[in-house]
Structures are given as C-alpha cells and as structure tokens.
Amino acid sequence: MVKRLANSFLPKDVALFGLLTLGYFIAARLGLKLALVQPFATPMWLPAGGAIAAFLVFGYRVWPAVLVGSFLGHVTALGLVSASFLVPVGATLEGLAGAYLVNRFAHGVKAFDTAKDALLFAFFTCICAPSINAAVGIVVNYFGGHASMANSAIIVLSWWLSHGIGSLVVAPFLILLIGTSHHRLNLSDLIELMALLLGLIFICLLVFGPLSISLNEKHLVRAWLCVPFLMWAAFRFCPLEAAGTTLILFGSAIWGTLHGYGTFVSKNLMISWALLNTFVGVIGTMTLVIAALVVERRRIEEELLGVQSLLQAEVEGKTQKLAETVQALDVEVAGHARTKRSLRDNQEQVRLLVARTKVEERIQQVQTQGEGQK
C-alpha cells in the first residue's frame, strides 16, 4: 500500500507540492507583516487567492501544500499558538470551498469566458469562501483572548474583506496565467500595452505614490482616474492583461495607503483599509466582468463569422449547382428546339411527298382516262 502510494507521486508532483508550499509560505509571511493594527488582520491576504488558484489549476489533491505552507508561515511568525494550527485549517477549507463552488457553478478555470461566470467567481471567492476563515477568526481572536467580542467582530470583518480582496486580485491573474491559453501579442499590441502600463503607473504615482505630495498636492487627480486604464485593458486585450493591470493598480493602492499616500488615508487605519477594500472590490469585479463581456462578444462574433462563412459557402455551392442546372436546361431546351425543327422539317417533307404523290396519282388517272377514250 505504501509502495503504491509512493509510486502514485511522480517527481514533478513532488516538485509542484514543494513550489506551492514555498509560495504559500512566503505569501503568508508577507501577509502577516501587514497586520499593523490587530493580530492576523491585514488589508489583503494574498495567500487566499493563491490557494484558490492552486486548487482550480492543479486540482484538490494539492491541499497538503496549502495546509503545510500556511502552517509554516504562521508558526515561524507567531510560534506554537492555537492560531498556527487553526488558521491553516481554515485557509485550506476556504480554498477548497471556493474552488469547488467555482468548478461546480462557474466552469472552473474558464470562469472568465463569460460575464455570468466571472460574476459568480467573484461572488463565490470573495463573499462565500472567506466566511469560513471569518468563522475561524472569531475562535482565534475571542477565545484566544486577543480581543473582546465587539473588537472580534470588527477583526472578523477585516479578515473577510482581506481574504475576499486577496482572492479577487491574485486568483484571476494566476488562473489566467497558468491555467488557460492566451494569444500572443504582436508588436503593435505590445507597444499599446506598454503605453497603457506606463500611463497607469504614472497615475498611480500621482494618486497613491510620492508624487501625490508634489505634483498632486491639491489632490486634483483622484483614484477614479485609474478606471479608464482598466477599461482600456478590458476592451483592447484579454482578461489576463486586465487582471494584470488590476494587480498593478491595487498593489499600488495598498502600498500607498500603508505609507500614508492617497485618497484612502485616514487617521484610523481600519477605516482606510475598509475604504481601500471597497474600492478594490467594486473596481476589480467590474473590470473582470467587462473583460469577460468583451471575450464573450468576440467569441460570438467569431461564431457569427463562422456561420456566415458556412452560409456563404453553402450559397455559393447552391449558386454553382443552380448555374449548372440552368446550363443543363439550356442545353436540353436547345436540344428540344433542334428536335422540333427536325420534326417540322420532316412534316414538311412528308407533306410535300404526299402532295407529290397525289399529283402523280392524278396524272396517272388522267393518262388512264385518256387511253380509255382512245
């Protein structure tokens, strides 16, 4: 039994498990460093999106990598406390639940092919699945003595938002990058994409970066000016590029807010995170849905062009057959005309022959009568 189990894991599977464990470990450590106000409460929990992407792309079998990576990330940062054991279990269950719902109701890795599936993906991964870890948050914070029930509710809300935003920002980009095929960009597309990214980065520096103090001192440039760049990416490129631009925008927004830049900065960091997460959730969902709408429209146009080509080929075939039929009918009509002329000529010859025969008979009768009179 042990030998069979060992043979079932190929070297590439071991390497995959190792990479996923390492990736989740690094992401968890980075996430815990952002817990600046309350223990375990961060503005965006990146590992949540990584776990859902791993389950959707590689299957549910990689759950040990998520569990071990989460455990190592928490135990090395917090020590052997209850949270180091409970949070990894909640993170694994959250990823499994989100991936199952997306696979069951939103076509898995193809969730970004239609607007309906993209909206369902956001609903399942940002609202439904994070509630599991939010329940774990109550146990960790309240029963662990880290906060009162009232403060635990606020922390749980922040957990729910951070996990949901992490799934919305990270998971689509990873799924589209690893789990789906995407078209190659030609030179003109690359130039346009570079112009888009440079413009977006400049606006992010004006809104969420150090340039907000010098060039944007009066805050004339607001966060909503980043939205046209997201729409540009959604309409002109594939969902992968749209997810990448949202990742750049929201990464800049989170970095700037944590460092005191941007329109979401307030005296209460929890309020800043709530405003930031609301912005990220609304704009991120809108971008994914619009990108999916564009993909859906392009696919419908391609299908219509294909149907049009088939209909055109069918019409051309029918036209060719009709022309051949008309040509055959013309040949047949010409043959009938020749036959008719031949019959008419034969009738004329018969008539002349009959008339000639009658004349000859009349001549013979006359000759016979003449001989009789003699």
122 belongs to a structural domain = yes
220 belongs to a structural domain = no
- At residue 172, the pLDDT reads 92
Confidence label for 374 from pLDDT (cuts 50, 70 and 90): low
pLDDT at 146 exceeding the cut of 70: no
Q: Tell me if 285 sits within 8 A of 165, measured CB to CB.
A: no
Confidence label for 217 from pLDDT (cuts 50, 70 and 90): low
pLDDT at 187 exceeding the cut of 70: yes
114 belongs to a structural domain = yes
Query: Tens digits of per-residue pLDDT, 129-139?
Result: 988 877 776 66
What is the average pLDDT value for the chain, to the nearest integer? 81
pLDDT at 180 exceeding the cut of 50: yes
Distance, CA of 219 to CA of 373 (rounded, Å): 144
pLDDT at 124 exceeding the cut of 90: yes
Distance, CA of 234 to CA of 182 (rounded, Å): 14
Distances (CA, A) of 113 to 23, 232, 297: 27, 18, 10
- At residue 6, the pLDDT reads 42
Distance, CA of 65 to CA of 85 (rounded, Å): 15
Confidence label for 195 from pLDDT (cuts 50, 70 and 90): very high
374 belongs to a structural domain = no
Taking residues 34-55, report their average pLDDT.
76
* Helix, strand and coil percent figures for the chain, each rounded to 5: 85, 0, 15
* DSSP calls for 276-330: HHHHHHHHHHHHHHHHHHHHHHHHHHHHHHHHHHHHHHHHHHHHHHHHHHHHHHH
95 belongs to a structural domain = yes
CA atoms within 13 A on the CB side of 221: 21
Confidence label for 7 from pLDDT (cuts 50, 70 and 90): very low
User: Diameter of the chain by CA atoms?
Assistant: 163
- At residue 371, the pLDDT reads 67
Distance, CA of 133 to CA of 148 (rounded, Å): 18
Number of folded domains that form the chain: 1
Structure tokens belonging to residue 220: 């004339």
- At residue 221, the pLDDT reads 72
Q: Tell me if 118 sits within 8 A of 288, measured CB to CB.
A: yes
Q: For the whole prediction, is pTM greater than 0.95?
A: no
146 belongs to a structural domain = yes
Q: Tell me if 113 sits within 8 A of 107, measured CB to CB.
A: yes
What is the DSSP-derived secondary structure letter of residue 184? P
Query: Tens digits of per-residue pLDDT, 45-71?
Result: 888 899 999 999 999 999 999 999 988
Residue recorded with tokens 């022309």: 323
Query: Tens digits of per-residue pLDDT, 64-76?
Result: 999 999 888 878 8
pLDDT at 145 exceeding the cut of 60: no
Query: Tens digits of per-residue pLDDT, 245-265?
Result: 988 888 888 888 877 787 787
- Helical axes 130-138 vs 82-105, angle rounded to 10°: 160
pLDDT at 320 exceeding the cut of 80: yes
Distance, CA of 297 to CA of 234 (rounded, Å): 12
> Which residues, in sequence order, are CB contacts of 183 under 8 Å at separation 6+?
238
- At residue 226, the pLDDT reads 85
- At residue 14, the pLDDT reads 84
Question: Hey, how many other C-beta atoms are within 10 angstroms of the C-beta on 211?
Answer: 17
Q: Which of 246, 241, 289 has the alpha carbon at shortest distance from 112?
A: 289
249 belongs to a structural domain = no
CATH number of the CATH domain containing 69: 1.10.1760
Taking residues 314-328, report their average pLDDT.
82
Domain that holds residue 14: 1-181
> Which residues, in sequence order, are CB contacts of 193 under 8 Å at separation 6+?
185, 237, 241
- At residue 216, the pLDDT reads 65
Q: Which residue has the higher pLDDT, 35 or 162?
A: 162
Exposed e or buried b for every residue in 84-108, given b needs 16+ CB within 10 A? Answer: bebbbebbbbbbbbbbebbbeebbb
- At residue 103, the pLDDT reads 94
- At residue 97, the pLDDT reads 93
11 belongs to a structural domain = yes
Confidence label for 1 from pLDDT (cuts 50, 70 and 90): very low
| Least-confidence region, from 6-15, 105-114, 163-172, 190-199 | 6-15
Distances (CA, A) of 57 to 14, 130, 180, 223: 16, 19, 9, 33
